[in-house]
Chain A
Amino acid sequence: MSTLQAENLTYRVDSKLIVSEVCFQASSGEFLAVVGVNGAGKSTLLDLLAGLKRPTSGRILVDGKAFQNFTPSERASWICHLPQAVRADLPFTVEQIVRMGRYPRGDSWMESAADAAAVEAAMQRARCFEFRHRRFATLSGGERQRVLLAACLAQAARILLLDEPATYLDLGHQILCFELLRAEAHNGALCFAVTHDLNLALAHCDRLLVLDQGKLTADMTVAEAWSEPSWMSNFSERLRICRSPEGERWIGYG
């Protein structure tokens, strides 16, 4: 059982607060959605948690230890980060990129047979095995996104931080992506996904972190999110909870 704790996490650029005194704690097995309007500080929060940015104040504890003191390879064994985008014209093949997920897991020059198996499994799960020999630059946006997701799965880190993992994906693959993360959490990982798709988040995650102007304005379970929908007005006054004849809920707008 591992935990991730944010204590008064603050990040400012010059005098502008991007992330402001964010506090929360999450444990392995949880799948959290990070939501908020554009510029609310979601990606910055993820960057802070991934160690890509140094907080102006506050700290991050991983299993009670200050994350700042971890070496780069210790960090990589704990945390995997899926960036919002990487450059599209990379000369690597799909397989070469997914293999990079295994780099932090050993100092050997070449990947082992176990690494190769993990890479293949990750490509199968993220549905990019069929085009594993194609160059990344020749793929569509959605195909590229699946490759990056496979690279994250191959890393097998304990904490997954994914910045809009469903971008560019068609509806079927969006659902697949969130189901994969749900399964990772079920197997003991702690997953965070920044997303704009509230329905996807409410259908697959356990918990919702709502950011507004850098502040964590709501930290609630999905059940609470349905029962007290005041947080939705953050996004648009037009959002409302709908019900299908079978009783399924979703967020609609009209």
Chain B
Amino acid sequence: MTMAGQGKWVALSAVAAVAAAVFLPWIGPSPIEFSRVVAHQQPDYLIFMELRLSRTLLGLLVGASLSLAGALFQALLRDSLATPYTLGISSGASFGAILTITSGLPSVAGLPAVWVGALLGATAALVIVAGASAQRGQLSSFRLLLTGISLNGVFSALILMVHSTAREYRSISVTHWLLGSLDSIRYSALTVFAVVASLMAAILLSRAKHWNLLMVGEDWAATRGVDPQRLLRLGFVCGSVLTATAVALAGPIGFVGLIVPHIVRARISADYRILMPCSFFLGGVLLAAADAAGRIVLAPAELPAGAIMALLGGPYLVWLVRRRS
């Protein structure tokens, strides 16, 4: 496929994301009518604007952030099974979130306490991983991977400990949060998230050629005009910011960050100039669509988006590993 042909895929992915934002909010347990929404009639207008649209946009942004971070970490760690959660950032965020849920704190500085707890936990994880894997100020993919996996184990144990001592009604919230789900969100928070995600995406995309080189190897990149140390640091920080914000707002939704980059690699291109933007847009579409499906398959009960993704992603992962071996 030529570069121009692949460029078309980027445009198509962007169109798919816009289409998802336009059409998915109409899907849900209670029917809403187009004419009533346009005429600002209640409750249709309220349901559309405050519940469905913000939730769909959140799904698009979370899916986009996680897929982009997944694609990035697969290059950074040179491991095709790497996910946004491999480096322990999300388990740090989860631990922070669960501490705040069990403590019963409702809000901090006007923000939901869970967000603040998750972001603080993610920051702690980032500092620990960077500190523990640096040797003489140098990062290496291998040490990052090992430290991240170890930290994941430690945080999981801490989460289990806190969870098992939590009161029953809070324990349900913890379980729900750990599955990962999308909910309606205020537009002010959504805007901040959109700005952060777009900024990270722009920084990462501007170095798309460098991720290609790093995917081959650090020495390969170093002799082709790149400083691999700077690139590793930049990627680690940007990927962590993407992961931390997505997890803070939606919980640790699994598999989207693994599956989407692999589908794009297999079907469109492995070149990060194409892979990154396509993963960004299509990851958003996949998660928002999974969430819309979760709203209706067992209506009036809702399946969390995290559960739908896991149902799709688990078998996909098995298939992937079988094909690899």
Contacts and interface: CB of A to CB of B under 8 A. Distances in A.
Interface string B1-35: 00100000000000000000000000000000000
A91 B216 contact: no
Contacts of A101: 224
A100 to B, nearest CB: 6
A93 B270 contact: yes
A72 B229 CA distance: 12
6 contacts: A50-B223, A86-B216, A96-B212, A100-B220, A104-B224, A104-B225
Nearest to A73: B225
Q: Taking chain A's interface residues, is the majority helix, strand, or loop, or is none over half, making it mixed?
A: mixed
Given A83-B217, A86-B216, A87-B217, A103 B273 contact: no
B224 A89 contact: no
Contact of A96 (B80, B223, B224, B271): B271
Given A91-B265, A92-B270, A76 B216 contact: no
Given A92-B270, A96-B270, A87 B216 contact: yes
A113 to B, nearest CB: 11
A28 B78 CA distance: 36
B225 A109 contact: no
Contacts of B212: 92, 96, 100, 103
B114 interface: no
A80 B225 contact: no
B26 to A, nearest CB: 37
B78 A87 contact: yes
Contact of B223 (A52, A89, A91, A92): A52
Nearest to A81: B223
Given A92-B270, A103-B209, A51 B223 contact: yes
B168 interface: no
B50 interface: no
Contact of B225 (A47, A50, A76, A86): A76
Contacts of B219: 47, 50, 52, 81, 83
Contact of B222 (A51, A77, A93, A97): A51
A155 interface: yes
Contact of A72 (B209, B222, B269): B222
Contacts of A86: 216-217, 220
Interface in A68-102: 72-73, 75-77, 79-81, 83, 86-87, 89-93, 96-97, 100-101
Interface string B154-185: 00000000000000000000000000000000
A90 B265 CA distance: 11
B213 interface: yes
Contacts of A90: 215-216
A171 interface: no
A51 B271 CA distance: 26
B222 A92 contact: no
Given A75-B223, A90-B215, 18 more contacts: A51-B222, A52-B223, A72-B222, A72-B227, A75-B225, A83-B217, A83-B220, A89-B80, A90-B216, A91-B265, A92-B215, A92-B216, A96-B212, A100-B212, A100-B213, A104-B224, A110-B273, A135-B270
B307 interface: no
B296 interface: no
A4 B43 CA distance: 77
A72 B227 CA distance: 6
B226 interface: yes
A87 B265 CA distance: 17
B95 to A, nearest CB: 33
Nearest to B261: A91
Interface in B258-282: 265, 269-271, 273
Interface in B268-314: 269-271, 273
Given A73-B225, A103-B225, A91 B220 contact: no
Nearest to B269: A96
Given A52-B223, A75-B225, A110-B3, A92 B78 contact: no
A100 B224 contact: yes
A172 to B, nearest CB: 27
A86 B224 CA distance: 14
A124 to B, nearest CB: 18
Contacts of B270: 91-93, 96, 135
A96 B208 CA distance: 13
Given A92-B270, A92-B271, A103 B217 contact: no
Contacts of A96: 212, 269-271
